Amino acid sequence: MRVLLVGGGGREHALAWKLAQSPRLSRLYAAPGNPGIARVAECVAVRAEAVGELAALAERERVDLVVVGPEVPLALGLADLLTGRGIPVVGPTRNAAELESSKIFAKSLFARHRIPTARFATFEEAKPARAFARDLGGRVVVKADGLAAGKGAIVCADLAEADRALGDLLDRRTLGEAGARVVVEERLEGEEVSVFVLTDGERVCPLAVAQDHKTVLDGDRGPNTGGMGAYSPTPALDDHLMAEIRERIIEPTVRAMAAEGRPFQGVLYAGLMLTAAGPQVMEYNVRFGDPECQVLMLRMMSDIVPAFLAACDEQLKSFDLRWYPESALTVVMAARGYPGDYQKGTRIEGLDEAAKIESVEIFHAGTVASDGAILANGGRVLNVCALGKTVTEAQARAYQAVDRINWPEGFCRRDIGWQAVEAEKAKI
């Protein structure tokens, strides 16, 4: 079968790597792809945001399935265009994608259907928002309503930080229309986890769980980013807790979306906080996480194509996926300055030597090929991934590979997976 993969980041490289292993695949296209994806797919120069061109490409190439990596094309209605042409797509309609593209819609849905979440209120003006933040003692999270490329959630330690965040979004409009309306919510305390399922709109098929590291600096310090690393599985979740999450959060969300006329089909990604009062949902994403997708694809034993087709055909009832027992870990290498200003066009060497290490895969996230060289072309540039019998072993292999890469203008956190490594040491 012929498959079109939409996107060109590290998540999409991991998906392309996994899709290419399917015996059902006859041809894989990627739009726009990247130099890493080009090793396993035919890259087509169509931007992920150009939804009309993507739909035309899928129709012209007689594509049997479209897999959408990033959230923006879903928010722009790509799935609607494809289904209108009879082309199966892994991803929700535009209305269902509001679960991610509008934080206000999502939080209101949680409230209407009693899905556990933090206390919140929504605002369009800074003055009442500051008053609400004051009522919560200043320890709040300020979230832009719209999509902001992973930079729309500001975690505030006190009222001064909340004041600055609200001023940036509502007064100075630093995120434009995406931040013209905000959610101010109570800051939950606990351990954060990422839970993924595949759903056909009614039933869910659980995927592996992961934990990511959002802040830019070691020790979970510094500003939030799109993600500096991830690992799977996590010691924070056992079977009992996973059953509770599915029963109290995931399945009620799928039912709520169907009840409101927005049936959700595709990958559902819940960002959860494990609090003393039980798991609570912070936000949903309507696609795989990045870099969580990378560790999930490394651990997935099953062919991913039948799972995607079952979700499209509403046939997930009794569907199951198998996973390798090993742990997977990914380290994000980013351009110095990220998540602020950074330089593009710097040369990266040593990738082939790094990839020779046992059980290591390197996924390209923000690269471009030029005269036979690989150059940095984004903030998050490479995902150095490894499998191991334990997270500790996977971590050691990943950093061994990192140290073979010659890129003076790049950096990474050196403590990805620290929670699991400490838990493993405690068992010895």
Q: What is the pLDDT of residues 264-301, one digit of tens each?
A: 999 999 999 999 999 999 999 999 999 999 999 999 99
Q: What are 240's two structure tokens?
A: 């009992």
Same domain, 198 and 156: no
Asked which of 78, 93, 108 is the last residue of a domain, the reply is 93
Same domain, 265 and 370: no
Considering the domain boundaries, does residue 281 fall inside one?
yes
Give the end-to-end CA distance of the chain in Å, rounded to a whole number: 48
Q: What is the pLDDT of residues 367-400, one digit of tens each?
A: 999 999 999 999 999 999 999 999 999 999 999 9
Count of other CB atoms within 10 angstroms of residue 53: 14
The residue range of the domain holding 343 is 327-427
Same domain, 298 and 214: yes
Considering the domain boundaries, does residue 112 fall inside one?
no
CB 413 within 8 A of CB 223: no
Q: What are 320's two structure tokens?
A: 């199951």
- Predicted confidence band of residue 405 (pLDDT cuts 50, 70, 90): very high
Considering the domain boundaries, does residue 116 fall inside one?
no
Considering the domain boundaries, does residue 73 fall inside one?
yes
Considering the domain boundaries, does residue 117 fall inside one?
no
Adjacent-strand bridge partners of 278: 275
* Widest Cα–Cα separation across the chain: 59
Q: What is the pLDDT of residues 86-98, one digit of tens each?
A: 999 999 999 999 9
- Predicted confidence band of residue 152 (pLDDT cuts 50, 70, 90): confident
Considering the domain boundaries, does residue 149 fall inside one?
yes
Adjacent-strand bridge partners of 141: 155, 185
Same domain, 175 and 213: no
Helix, strand, or coil (residue 426): helix
Phi-psi region of 150 (alpha: psi -120 to 50; beta: other; left: phi over 0): left
Q: Residue 333: what pLDDT? A: 98
CB 230 within 8 A of CB 291: yes
Q: What is the pLDDT of residues 348-357, one digit of tens each?
A: 999 999 999 9
Q: Answer yes or no: is pLDDT of 222 > 80.
A: yes
Considering the domain boundaries, does residue 113 fall inside one?
no
Same domain, 373 and 406: yes
Same domain, 173 and 195: no
CATH number, domain containing residue 226: 3.30.470.20
Considering the domain boundaries, does residue 362 fall inside one?
yes
Nearest-angstrom CA–CA distance, 388 and 248:
32
Domain count, the chain: 4
- Predicted confidence band of residue 428 (pLDDT cuts 50, 70, 90): confident
CATH number, domain containing residue 164: 3.30.1490.20
Same domain, 278 and 209: yes
- Predicted confidence band of residue 419 (pLDDT cuts 50, 70, 90): very high
Q: What is the pLDDT of residues 41-74, one digit of tens each?
A: 999 999 999 999 999 999 999 999 999 999 999 9
CA distances from 324 to 357, 385, 388 (A): 19, 15, 10
CATH number, domain containing residue 29: 3.40.50.20
